[in-house]
Amino acid sequence: MYDVLIVGGGATGFFYGYQHRRKNSPEASGLKIAILERGKEVLTKVRVSGGGRCNVTHACFVPNDLVKFYPRGEKELRALFHQFCSGDTIEWFEKHGVELKIEEDGRMFPVSDSSQTIIDCFLNTTKKHKIDILTGQSVQSIFRSEDSWKVETNQQTFRCENLVMTTGSNPKIWEMLEKLGHTIIPPVPSLFTFNIKDKRIKDLMGVSAFASVKVKDSKLSASGPLLITHWGMSGPGILRLSAWGARELFDKNYQFILEVNWLNDATLEETENQLKELKLEHAKKVVGKNHLLISPTDCGKVWFWLLKFH
Ligand SMILES: Cc1cc2nc3c(=O)[nH]c(=O)nc-3n(C[C@H](O)[C@H](O)[C@H](O)COP(=O)(O)OP(=O)(O)OC[C@H]3O[C@@H](n4cnc5c(N)ncnc54)[C@H](O)[C@@H]3O)c2cc1C
């Protein structure tokens, strides 16, 4: 019989295990805690996070400001960030031997630039705090009896007093939780790239620019680096738009017109002036014949492209 069983060996499960042990001490020091993970390995998503570097947190230390970075859940997150914010995260990792660094855009990574550092930190911490990690245990069903939980995996049956579900995105588990009386908000895709079939970008694969993008006839807009790919558009600007517009784009069945302002937020007048200045500055410069020359009068043509999204 376990005191606490955590289902899911991802970042949430590991951090929860540690917090439970620490927060409930001194009684918690004797508690029997285990993490059940269906895979052969734990923390697999942490490994690939942040392109293998793990973007641990953001250098924004005020809860009311930090919530603005999240497309949904502002109210719930605000309460949580008042209890544990980015500063606490930095302190926690420092205390556990991981130094973090801030990048120019505010993102924070381990100094090692490797997500393995974060994985090692979690593994060492759980080991030190005597939290069992049981892999290859895929939870199939959960039952509540009067005084405990019965948890059936593909291998064996466990009993525990407290059950914590940290399974991330698993529809089967959501179904189980719904049967237990929890409300599940139907999930929709988020953070995706756009599939665009438009001959105007056909030969521009690999071109990137800092642009602002807008979904026509909606309030959805974003700006940031935009990359033209062989299937359409990608890059932080597009990913941001898809995250903030996840529900609205789902409602539109992902069919919409995307407006791209290649000049970002600059006005036509500002850009014209900039080009005129460049022209004066480099009046005598010889430009190779393969360079694209944009004259101020061309600006209007690159101002907005209307693209049909498929
Ligand atoms: C490519 C990519 C890059 C990312 N980069 C970053 C980043 O840099 N910074 C950042 O903060 N976030 C990043 N994220 C998001 C981040 O990885 C997730 O938010 C985070 O890992 C979620 O952790 P979790 O523990 O909630 O879920 P998960 O990591 O998904 O863990 C859930 C665990 O539960 C297990 N499980 C599921 N069902 C069962 C079952 N029935 N029985 C037993 N075990 C089960 C799964 O196998 C899994 O190990 C990235 C995500 C992706 C996909």
189 located within any domain: no
Whether residues 156 and 212 fall in one domain: no
Whether residues 141 and 235 fall in one domain: no
Look at residue 105 and give its three-state secondary structure.
coil
Q: Which of 131, 154, 179 is the last residue of a domain?
A: 179
β-partners of residue 5 are 34, 163
184 located within any domain: no
Q: Which residue ranges have their beta carbon within 6 Å of ligand 1?
A: 7-13, 36-39, 44-46, 48-50, 54-55, 138-139, 166-168, 170, 173
Please say whether the beta carbons of 260 and 305 come within 8 A: yes
**What are the tokens at 56?**
């641990």
Q: Return the H-helix or E-strand segment holding 22.
A: helix 11-23
CA 277 to ligand 1 centroid distance, Å: 50
DSSP state of 292: P
Number of domains in the chain: 2
Whether residues 33 and 151 fall in one domain: yes
Whether residues 59 and 83 fall in one domain: yes
Nearest atom of ligand 1 to the alpha carbon of 137: 43
CA 302 to ligand 1 centroid distance, Å: 40
Whether residues 238 and 165 fall in one domain: no
Whether residues 81 and 222 fall in one domain: no
C-alpha dihedral, 92 to 93 to 95 to 96, nearest 10°:
120
33 located within any domain: yes
Nearest to 238 by CA among 219, 216, 215: 215
Q: Which CATH number does the domain housing residue 10 bear?
A: 3.50.50.60
Q: Which residue is it, tokens 């393995």? A: 116
Q: Which of 179, 202, 221 is the last residue of a domain?
A: 179
Nearest atom of ligand 1 to the alpha carbon of 8: 34
Which residue, by CA, sits nearest to atom 5 of ligand 1? Answer: 49
97 located within any domain: yes
185 located within any domain: no
The residue segments making up the domain with residue 144 are: 2-179
Whether residues 214 and 287 fall in one domain: yes
Q: Distance (Å, rounded) from C-alpha 24 to C-alpha 28? A: 5
Whether residues 10 and 39 fall in one domain: yes
Question: Please, what is the Cα angle at 184 between 179 and 189, to 5 degrees?
Answer: 135
Nearest atom of ligand 1 to the alpha carbon of 53: 8
Handedness of CA 272, 278, 284, 289 (dihedral sign): negative
Please say whether the beta carbons of 59 and 86 come within 8 A: yes
Q: Which of 118, 149, 179 is the last residue of a domain?
A: 179
CA 43 to ligand 1 centroid distance, Å: 7
Nearest atom of ligand 1 to the alpha carbon of 172: 41
**What are the tokens at 260?**
């791209």
Whether residues 168 and 200 fall in one domain: no
User: In the prediction, which pLDDT does 202 show?
Assistant: 85
Please say whether the beta carbons of 96 and 121 come within 8 A: yes
16 located within any domain: yes
Whether residues 113 and 258 fall in one domain: no
CA 20 to ligand 1 centroid distance, Å: 20
If one residue of 49, 80, 142 were mutated to test the ligand 1 pocket, choosing by the most ligand atoms within 8 A of its CB, it would be 49
CA 76 to ligand 1 centroid distance, Å: 20
140 located within any domain: yes
Whether residues 172 and 39 fall in one domain: yes
Whether residues 163 and 286 fall in one domain: no
186 located within any domain: no
pLDDT by residue for the chain (310 residues), tens digit each? 999 999 999 999 999 999 998 876 666 678 899 999 999 999 999 999 999 999 999 999 999 999 999 999 999 999 999 999 999 999 999 999 999 999 998 999 999 999 999 999 999 999 999 999 999 999 999 999 888 999 999 999 999 999 999 999 999 999 999 999 999 999 999 999 999 999 888 889 999 989 999 999 999 999 999 999 999 999 999 999 999 999 999 999 999 999 998 887 777 788 888 888 888 888 777 665 444 444 444 443 343 444 434 3
